[in-house]
Amino acid sequence: MSTSIESVMQETRVFPPSAAFVEQANVSGMAAYEAMCRAAEQDYEGYWAKLARENIVWHKPFSAVLDESNAPFFQWFADGELNVSYNCLDRHLATQADKTALIFEADDAKVTRVTYRELHARVCQFANALRSRNIKKGDRVVIYMPMSIEVIVAMQACARIGAIHSVVFGGFSSKSLNERIEDATACAVITADAQMRGGKVMPLKPVVDEALAMGGCDSVHSIIVYRRAGSEIFWNAKLDLWWHDLIAGQDTSCEPEWVNSEHPLFILYTSGSTGKPKGVQHSSGGYLLGAMVSMKWVFDYKPSDIFWCTADVGWVTGHSYVCYGPLAMGATQVVFEGIPTFPDAGRFWKMIQSHKVTTFYTAPTAIRSLIKLGGELPKQYDLSSLRLLGTVGEPINPEAWMWYYTVVGQSRCPIVDTWWQTETGCHMIAPLPGVVATKPGSCTLPLPGIMTAIVNEAGEAVPREQGGFLVITRPFPSQIRTIWGDPERYRKSYFPEDMRGAYLAGDSAQCDKDGYFWIMGRIDDVLKVSGHRLGTMEIESTLAANPLVAEAAVVGKPHEIKGEAIVAFVVLKGARPHDAAAVKQVAENLRAWVGEKIGPIAKPDEIRFGDNLPKTRSGKIMRRLLRTIARGDEITQDVSTLENPAILEQLKEVVR
């Protein structure tokens, strides 16, 4: 980790925005940015209150701004009332009802456009349909759907009636879905018969059926199924309802449920350092404010923009920059069902050309894979509509950054490398494109009003050019409110005592001499594989649950395209397989097992077998050693405390 940071820290290229970009930017020039930072420092609550009044339509204005009395359970704008769906839809009807809200491009390239008027009507209709099933404020609704107009309708409809949605990424398995439904005690699941990806039909409803059959989901009284692919599916007349039947005859207007600013808008499960995913709970008012100001500041949003964030709504990026941020701003955005490599690796570029996309936001892993599959392809398309590019999810290596900048952005478009997390709700550290000169690989400076610092184990600030833990020292509106059903885990994970009340992000970072932030990686057992957040403990406990496995340890190793690859070290209950064929066979079975239990994204890239794992005499697995072995590096660590040095040789063996 420290060697990779050292190499990016040698990066000396600096890319200031063009004068033309600066001139038109929402936040224009360093002086404007510094004035905002100063305003936040001088009157923190006043700063955020002003923004909350300017950006959000309040049904009942708030008088209290930040309540820290029950820290770290902070409250923002707590006596204000609003409805998030009203803020995303109704507020635009008087001024731009006929503006296109969504340009939906299906896997097969069929395009459907939806105006704000139509989207509003569809959300109202579906909200009424949910109410007809007696789903109401505070109820939890799990959404397991493909990228579609309908998934946005479903999320917005939940927000409209005050139901709390929990979107589960369509790539998660029935077991993962089962756990999330049970943890949230959801009353309904909204799904589709199947999803279309890369020309293939991938079942969804059958996965929901399996999840329910596993038990623990008695809270579910309705399964609403959107017909996407026309697949044959099993039908349980007691639970299952077709989306189209349910909305038939429903009114296209629907009085929103006015909720308190702190009312939970959604729960989104994410991986942490234990085996059990955490249900990150977000608020309504504070979250919406974060999504909106970051659209304005970081994406420099203009009403004429065609915005495209490629993230799936199953991740936080798809919540903040597909479902909520762009709609609250009244933007026109592209929503894409398919994958970047179908029918070929020119798909993104072709779509940018045909929809005249101005702002494009994607993940470093997608950029790297598209470089590999067709680094010259963007040149075949007219990308002149682009004015701003963004990345998210993991550090971007300078080579990929330079390609994105020169080939995709034609050296014209600033790149916003946005650091944030499921827990922070919106961008925290990212260049304001009309302010900050960017450096490839750095997410640059915090948003004005976000108080970041790099500290040591004792929570003390470290000098520049020295690594440490990334913390946010003041509560901010869009932050996580709690972990659903587990407030103690929330407190322990994010506000450990040593950090003196600051929010501990879980990343290590350092600031360079100009105060630019460089993210080094996670400090916990969380991996970023193709931008997907996965806990090593989750994968370990899944492996250990296999009848063949006695013990497993999972670590990450750098991967050219995925960022990180998963390497599992496994001790079997029976004898260690010796010949290559047997090793392959067992490894393949275990990979399939993990795919089935968590989802294909969690399948280890590599599995190695040993008679034991390297442990200290006190029985602790030496993970650092395993990381070195996984990378194929020379072991330079002190192995004198190792109980069983002989097994190192076994674990070094790679069988492909």
| Residue numbers at the binding site for ligand WTA (CB under 6 A) | 270, 315-317, 392-395, 417-422, 443, 505-507, 519, 522, 528, 533
- Contact assessment for residue 186 and residue 164, using Cβ atoms and an 8 Å cutoff: no
HSE (CB half, 13 Å, CA atoms) of 163?
Answer: 31
Shortest distance in whole angstroms from residue 143 CB to ligand WTA: 18
Q: From CA 108, how far away is CA 507, in angstroms rounded?
A: 39
Residue 237 DSSP SS3: coil
CB-wise, 321 or 593, nearer to ligand WTA? 321
Q: Which is nearer to ligand WTA, 225 or 472 (CB)?
A: 472
Report the residue number, 319 or 350, with the smaller CB distance to ligand WTA.
Answer: 319
- Write out the two tokens for 453: 């610092």
For the bound state, the minimum distance from the C-beta of residue 8 to ligand WTA, rounded and expressed in Å, comes to 11
Q: How far is the CB of 524 from ligand WTA (least distance, A)?
A: 9
State the nearest-atom distance from the C-beta of 267 to ligand WTA, in Å: 14
**Nearest distance, CB of residue 470 and ligand WTA, angstroms:** 8
Nearest residue to ligand WTA, by Cβ distance, number only = 422
Compute the least distance from the CB of residue 330 to ligand WTA, in Å: 23
332 or 418: CB nearest ligand WTA: 418
DSSP string, 426-478: S-SB---TTTPPB-TT--BSBPTT--EEEE-TTSPBPPTT--EEEEE-S--TT
SS (H, E, C) 565-622: EEEEEEEECCCCCCCHHHHHHHHHHHHHHHHHHCCHHHCCCEEEECCCCCEECCCCEC
Pairing of strands 81-82, 222-226: unpaired
Residue 646 CB, nearest distance to ligand WTA (Å)?
Answer: 35
Cα(474)–Cα(452) distance, rounded to whole angstroms? 8
- Cβ at position 155, least distance to ligand WTA in Å: 17
Would you state the structure tokens that stand for residue 354, as one six-digit string?
Answer: 């045909």
Determine the Cα–Cα distance for residues 150 and 196; give it in Å rounded to an integer.
14
> Going by DSSP bridges, is the β-strand pair 306-309/332-336 parallel, antiparallel, or unpaired?
parallel
Q: Where are the alpha helices (DSSP H) in 25-173?
A: 30-42, 44-55, 84-85, 91-96, 116-132, 149-161
In the complex, least distance from residue 316 CB atom to ligand WTA, rounded to whole angstroms = 5
Burial of 473 (0-12, 13-18, 19+ CB in 10 A): middle
- Given the complex with ligand WTA, which of 554 and 601 has the nearer CB atom? 601
- Residue 557: strand pairing partners: 565
Answer for the pair 509, 446: CB distance below 8 angstroms, yes or no.
no
By C-beta, is 209 or 312 nearer to ligand WTA? 312
Q: Which helix (H) or strand (E) holds 12?
A: none
Q: Cβ closer to ligand WTA: 152 or 601? A: 601
Residue type, 578: H
The backbone torsions φ and ψ at residue 545, rounded to the nearest 5 degrees and listed phi first, read: -80, -10
Nearest CB to ligand WTA, comparing residues 315 and 490: 315
Q: Which helix (H) or strand (E) holds 405?
A: none
**Minimum CB separation from ligand WTA for residue 233, in Å?**
31
Distance between CA atoms of 639 and 533, rounded to whole angstroms? Answer: 31
User: Cβ 128 to ligand WTA, closest distance in Å?
Assistant: 33
Retrieve residue 7's tokens: 């190499």
**Residue 231 has what DSSP assignment?**
-
Q: Which is nearer to ligand WTA, 161 or 416 (CB)?
A: 416
- Longest pairwise C-alpha distance within the chain: 74
Closest CB to ligand WTA among residues 239, 523: 523
Smallest gap from Cβ 510 to ligand WTA, in A, equals 12
CB of 423 to ligand WTA, least distance (A): 7
259 vs 309 by CB, closer to ligand WTA: 309
d(CA 642, CA 648): 10
Task: Tell the smallest beta-carbon distance from residue 291 to ligand WTA (Å).
Answer: 12
CB closer to ligand WTA, 150 vs 300: 300
* Cis? peptide before 395, omega within 30° of 0: no
Dihedral (CA of 273, 277, 281, 287) sign = positive
Task: Considering the complex, state which of residue 305 and residue 423 has its C-beta at the smaller distance from ligand WTA.
Answer: 423
Check if the beta carbon of residue 499 is closer than 8 Å to that of residue 471: yes
CB closer to ligand WTA, 418 vs 482: 418
